[in-house]
Amino acid sequence: VKKIAVLTSGGDSQGMNAAVRAVVRSALFRGLEVHGIQRGYQGLLNEELRPMDIRSVGDIIQRGGTILQTARCKEFTSPEGQQRGAEVLRKHGIDGLVVIGGDGSYQGANKLSKLGIKTMGLPGTIDNDIPFTDYTIGFDTAVSVAVDAINKLRDTMTSHERSSVVEVMGRHCGDIALYSGLASGAEAILVPEVPFDVKQIALHMKENFKNGKRHGIVVVAEGVCSGEEIARTIAEHSGIEPRVTVLGHIQRGGSPTHNDRILASRLADYAVHKLQEGDSGKAIGIHRGEFTATDIDVVVSTKKPFNTELYNLAMRLSQ
Ligand code: ATP
């Protein structure tokens, strides 16, 4: 591999910029040429490529979003689109590609790998839903944003002796809810991975208020149902009328935490190293402190295991 490219794809996440910076600088350090592709696979098909130098990624490590921008591209899901993508890369003399995104973006990278372009995937998503890595890039920041918001809600809830239902993101994965709920002392954490009984939760909250608890916070993952639905059910069974807050896209914004910046930098450097070794079609991660490079086929067909131990701890401490 002599010349590589980097793109960001799918939903953006904090730390993507840190990853782009590390891909570019690590490649240049290793004597490779590197191009940035604007707007994900759409930009690849539109030939929106430009050479990147050391300075092109200056002053971005601390910024949320992605300077390369991101897009979803229907055309690239067809074999013709993928063929054209590979041709564009070849035309520009590019034989390696780092794709920063979620599992959909990984599948695109895998298709390119089968067409002879060496590819590596980096887990750029706040959802933490990618297996074979303990954390995805952006997850730590998203949890921090959620915890910060819940702290603020708790201040005003306590003053008024009210309860709150907070809906957080994560798609089908409950990790943002689990981590932010545990870190903010939520009374209940509702995730798609664990069955629950809202009636029980409602009665428990009622009991707690009777016994002098001055607030109640329920964190619900968007993959379960809407916060509104949970609040309605709680009201039906207990008479408590929780206020609902949907955190939404603010969870995808803000300056990445040092954890996300370091994770992004390490994963990106390892991805470039693997490309230089001639490896391809792999998703890069860190599991229990060790780098992992797993076949994308395996990654996209494996469900990330849920951290039951952490969930049980949160439940034990939420009395
Ligand atoms: P996030 O989880 O943050 O939404 P993602 O990478 O899963 O990120 P997707 O919208 O699923 O987001 O995928 C991003 C892009 O990757 C798609 O718009 C499409 O261009 C490409 N892609 C998705 N699935 C495939 C596939 N099966 N084959 C080829 N390309 C794909």
Residue 215: per-residue pLDDT: 80
Residue 161: per-residue pLDDT: 74
Please check the confidence at residue 159 and state whether its pLDDT lies above 90: no
Q: For ligand 1, pick from 8, 14, 68, 72 the residue to mutate: most ligand atoms within 8 Å of CB.
A: 72
221 neighbors 176 (Cβ within 8 angstroms)? yes
220 neighbors 227 (Cβ within 8 angstroms)? yes
Give Cβ neighbours of residue 235 (< 8 Å, ≥ 6 apart). Answer: 202, 241, 242
What is the reported pTM?
0.96
List the end-to-end C-alpha distance of the chain, in Å, as a whole number: 56
| Closest listed residue to residue 310, CA positions, set 176, 218, 200, 160 | 176
| Gap from CA of 72 to ligand 1 centroid (Å) | 7
| Gap from CA of 107 to ligand 1 centroid (Å) | 7
Binding-site residue set for ATP = 11, 72-73, 102-105
| Gap from CA of 219 to ligand 1 centroid (Å) | 28
In Å, the largest CA–CA distance within the chain is 71
Please check the confidence at residue 319 and state whether its pLDDT lies above 80: no
Model confidence at 209, pLDDT cuts 50, 70, 90, reads confident
Residue 83: per-residue pLDDT: 98
Please check the confidence at residue 212 and state whether its pLDDT lies above 90: no
Binding-site residue set = 11, 21-25, 72-73, 102-105, 125-127, 154, 162, 169-171, 185-187, 213-215, 222, 243, 249-252
Model confidence at 213, pLDDT cuts 50, 70, 90, reads confident
For the stretch 39-69, pLDDT in tens is 999 999 999 999 999 999 999 999 999 999 9
Residue 313: per-residue pLDDT: 98
Please check the confidence at residue 158 and state whether its pLDDT lies above 90: no
144 neighbors 183 (Cβ within 8 angstroms)? no
The response to whether residue 12 sits with its C-beta less than 6 Å from ligand 1 reads: no
CA separation (Å) from 223 to 168, 212, 286, 310?
9, 32, 25, 19
For the stretch 234-267, pLDDT in tens is 999 999 999 999 999 999 999 999 999 999 999 9
Q: What is the dihedral of CA 146, 134, 307, 205, to 10 degrees?
A: -10
Question: Which one-letter amino acid corresponds to residue 234?
Answer: I
Model confidence at 160, pLDDT cuts 50, 70, 90, reads confident
Residue 156: strand, helix, or coil: helix
Q: Say whether 127 is catalytic.
A: yes
